[in-house]
Amino acid sequence: MNGTKIQKVIGHQIFDSRGIPTVSAEIMLESGIKAWACVPSGASTGKHEAIELRDNGNTYSGKGVSKALGNINTKINDIIRGLDVSNQSEIDYTMIKFDGTENKSKLGANAILAVSLACAKAAAKVFKMDLYKYLGGINSCVLPVPMMNILNGGAHADNNVEIQEFMIFPSGAKSFNEAMQMGTEIYSQLKALLKSQGLSTAVGDEGGFAPTLEKDEQALELITDAIEKAGYRAGKDVFICLDVAAGEWNDGNNGYKFPKKNQIVKIDELFSYYKTLVEKYPIISIEDPFSDDDFDNFSKFQKELGHKIQIVGDDLFVTNAKRLKKGIALKSGNAILIKPNQIGTLTETLDTIRLAQRSGYRTIVSHRSGETEDTSIADIAVATNSGQIKSGAPSRSERVCKYNRLLQIENKLGNFSKYGEE
């Protein structure tokens, strides 16, 4: 096609939802078509993630992104200018090859991903298609069940709660629209419950409430009550998902310690703790129950509870096909969290999703704690029929914009849309 070659790419500094600089890229084609994309930033990050290039200088407490922007405006611009924007893999692997490092530390995964996503959006415009349809084709029709993080702890909140995320999972809805109704009603009921008990209704990074509680189990009790008060059945209509983020609990040599309580916990105690929670509460999914390299305990946990719940690797896999292959061989879990900025290109993200799905792993497309108004993950979730998405609480515009995009897609698909996993 005429006019599909890349004419120029420009990097821009913007701010994420925590007021920290991040990267946006704008692509211009010879035809005059333009598209932009923004990348988020994580607070609780796995040590095997691709490198988010920061300045480490005096401005923005070292969090500036001028180095990443400089790479977009010079090196990346030079190597992809003239490439056909519809050849996503060529664009992505050109950047990967030029970077030449395992973790994209030369150009920065934030710089590379911004350009990668912007190219996909520009190509979708060329073909006058929505991004989800351009990426996934005619079979893109599954609206994901939202994992809504409605109560925050861990690294996402300055409270005494050890578990990082307590999420509701309205899998009993008949449509994404109904799931949003259920989620917002439960969120509202939880706020009322917290207020009635004199607990804080301030929110954490991802829009979930962040009260100081007597113990982590109180969070599960409050959420179960909120589900019932909203008129839904806990364990039937709505389930609970946890993101433990146990990488934050690692105390060396795969030992664990609750950091806020400063309490050492033995591995058998941790197993027992999780089993007790699953028995007592309507928990259907636990993410990162162990640390970044603890494949063995993930495997043991999968053997014991994998038939009953979803065991999700986030920091364990970091959207990296090589690490996922190891996990598949060792049977370390049965699901993977997908975060494009963990790996740094759209092509590698889609490759990892395909590998997971071929291997019987569930895929959950996810946001980050420091988010932007970019809604690419919503389109990626539908494009890949992933069936699940994490985008935080139904609160704060950088979270809600992803949900609103999914509502738009559901309306576009009409009767051809499906909700949740088959």
Cβ atoms of 344 and 69 within 8 Å: the answer is no
Query: N- to C-terminal Cα distance for the chain?
Result: 37
Q: Which of 339, 348, 371, 410 is catalytic?
A: 339
Catalytic residue among 26, 49, 162, 206: 206
What sign has the CA pseudo-torsion 70, 71, 75, 78?
negative
Tell me the DSSP string of 336-353.
Answer: EEE-HHHH--HHHHHHHH
Q: Say how far apart CA 395 and CA 414 lie, in whole Å.
A: 26
The pair of three-digit structure tokens given for residue 178, joined into one six-digit string: 């109904």
Structure tokens at 268: 């058998």
Looking at residue 45, the DSSP 8-state letter turns out to be -
In three-state secondary structure terms, 422 is coil
C-alpha distances (whole Å) from 85 to each of 9, 89, 224, 260 are 12, 10, 48, 48
- d(C-alpha 200, C-alpha 213), whole Å: 10
Closest by Cα among 381, 395, 407 to 17: 395
* Whether 339 is catalytic: yes
Q: Report yes or no: 154 and 162 within 8 Å, Cβ to Cβ.
A: yes
The three-class DSSP label of residue 256 is strand
DSSP E strand boundaries for 209-355:
239-243, 256-258, 263-265, 283-287, 310-313, 335-338
Q: Which string of DSSP letters, residue by residue, matches 161-227? A: --SSEEEEE-TT-SSHHHHHHHHHHHHHHHHHHHHHTT----B-TTS-B----SSHHHHHHHHHHHH
What are the φ and ψ backbone dihedral angles of 57, each rounded to 5 degrees? Answer: -105, -155
Would you name the residues annotated as active-site residues?
206, 339
